Amino acid sequence: MTLTATLPRSFPATTGQEVDLYPVSSELTVAQAANHLQTSEKHLNHLLDAEQIVFRLENGVRLIALNNLLEYEQMRKRRGAWLDEMARENQEMGFYD
Protein backbone atom coordinates (compact mmCIF):
# COMPACT_ATOMS: atom_id res chain seq x y z
CA MET A 1 0.00 0.00 0.00
CA THR A 2 1.30 3.46 -0.87
CA LEU A 3 0.36 6.64 0.94
CA THR A 4 0.55 9.85 -1.02
CA ALA A 5 0.13 13.24 0.61
CA THR A 6 -0.06 16.62 -1.06
CA LEU A 7 1.71 19.32 0.92
CA PRO A 8 1.53 23.07 0.33
CA ARG A 9 4.65 24.73 -1.05
CA SER A 10 5.18 26.49 2.29
CA PHE A 11 3.54 26.14 5.64
CA PRO A 12 4.04 27.61 9.12
CA ALA A 13 6.53 25.78 11.32
CA THR A 14 6.05 25.39 15.08
CA THR A 15 8.14 28.54 15.65
CA GLY A 16 5.79 30.65 13.57
CA GLN A 17 8.28 30.94 10.72
CA GLU A 18 7.38 29.62 7.30
CA VAL A 19 9.23 26.63 5.92
CA ASP A 20 9.63 26.19 2.17
CA LEU A 21 9.50 22.72 0.71
CA TYR A 22 11.25 21.83 -2.52
CA PRO A 23 12.25 18.57 -4.13
CA VAL A 24 15.87 17.52 -3.76
CA SER A 25 17.46 15.55 -6.53
CA SER A 26 19.56 12.53 -5.66
CA GLU A 27 22.36 14.05 -7.77
CA LEU A 28 23.49 17.66 -7.86
CA THR A 29 25.40 19.69 -10.39
CA VAL A 30 28.56 21.51 -9.33
CA ALA A 31 26.59 24.77 -9.04
CA GLN A 32 23.90 23.17 -6.86
CA ALA A 33 26.46 21.39 -4.66
CA ALA A 34 28.53 24.56 -4.26
CA ASN A 35 25.40 26.43 -3.24
CA HIS A 36 24.58 23.73 -0.69
CA LEU A 37 28.09 23.86 0.79
CA GLN A 38 28.10 27.67 0.59
CA THR A 39 31.35 27.69 -1.32
CA SER A 40 32.44 28.71 -4.81
CA GLU A 41 32.19 26.41 -7.81
CA LYS A 42 35.95 26.85 -8.28
CA HIS A 43 36.67 25.58 -4.76
CA LEU A 44 34.25 22.68 -5.19
CA ASN A 45 35.92 21.73 -8.47
CA HIS A 46 39.26 21.66 -6.62
CA LEU A 47 37.72 19.26 -4.07
CA LEU A 48 36.40 17.09 -6.89
CA ASP A 49 39.78 17.11 -8.67
CA ALA A 50 41.46 16.09 -5.40
CA GLU A 51 38.93 13.24 -5.09
CA GLN A 52 37.70 14.49 -1.72
CA ILE A 53 34.13 14.19 -2.98
CA VAL A 54 33.05 11.35 -5.23
CA PHE A 55 31.28 12.33 -8.46
CA ARG A 56 30.46 10.90 -11.85
CA LEU A 57 30.62 12.36 -15.33
CA GLU A 58 27.63 12.33 -17.63
CA ASN A 59 28.04 14.01 -21.02
CA GLY A 60 30.92 16.07 -19.61
CA VAL A 61 28.87 17.29 -16.61
CA ARG A 62 30.03 16.47 -13.11
CA LEU A 63 27.20 15.04 -11.00
CA ILE A 64 27.57 14.60 -7.27
CA ALA A 65 25.39 12.14 -5.40
CA LEU A 66 23.61 13.86 -2.52
CA ASN A 67 24.82 11.14 -0.15
CA ASN A 68 28.45 11.80 -1.13
CA LEU A 69 27.99 15.52 -0.57
CA LEU A 70 26.39 14.98 2.84
CA GLU A 71 29.17 12.56 3.79
CA TYR A 72 31.81 15.18 2.91
CA GLU A 73 29.89 17.83 4.86
CA GLN A 74 29.77 15.62 7.98
CA MET A 75 33.50 14.87 7.69
CA ARG A 76 34.20 18.61 7.38
CA LYS A 77 32.14 19.33 10.51
CA ARG A 78 33.92 16.58 12.48
CA ARG A 79 37.30 17.93 11.37
CA GLY A 80 36.31 21.44 12.40
CA ALA A 81 35.13 20.25 15.81
CA TRP A 82 38.40 18.36 16.29
CA LEU A 83 40.46 21.45 15.41
CA ASP A 84 38.37 23.60 17.79
CA GLU A 85 38.95 21.09 20.58
CA MET A 86 42.68 20.98 19.89
CA ALA A 87 42.89 24.80 19.96
CA ARG A 88 40.92 24.90 23.25
CA GLU A 89 43.28 22.35 24.84
CA ASN A 90 46.31 24.31 23.65
CA GLN A 91 44.88 27.49 25.18
CA GLU A 92 44.26 25.68 28.47
CA MET A 93 47.88 24.50 28.50
CA GLY A 94 49.09 28.06 27.91
CA PHE A 95 50.60 27.56 24.48
CA TYR A 96 49.13 30.86 23.24
CA ASP A 97 50.40 33.07 26.08
Give the model's confidence band at 3: pLDDT under 50 very low, under 70 low, under 90 confident, else very high. low
Higher pLDDT, 35 or 20: 35
What CA–CA distance (Å, rounded) separates 73 from 76? Answer: 5
Dihedral angle sign, alpha carbons of residues 14, 20, 23, 26: negative
In a domain, 3, yes or no: no
CATH number of the domain to which 35 belongs: 1.10.1660
User: What digits encode the pLDDT tens for the residues 16-31?
Assistant: 676 666 666 789 999 9
Any domain includes 42: yes
Whether the Cβ atoms of residue 66 and residue 25 lie closer than 8 Å to each other: yes
Given this model, what pLDDT does residue 5 score?
58
The answer to the question of residue 34 being in a domain is yes
Total domain count, the chain: 1
pTM value surpassing 0.95: no
pLDDT tens sequence across 51-93: 999 999 999 999 999 999 999 999 999 999 999 999 999 888 8
Q: Where in the sequence is the domain holding 34, given as residue range(s)?
A: 25-92
31 inside domain: yes
Residue 48 covered by a domain = yes
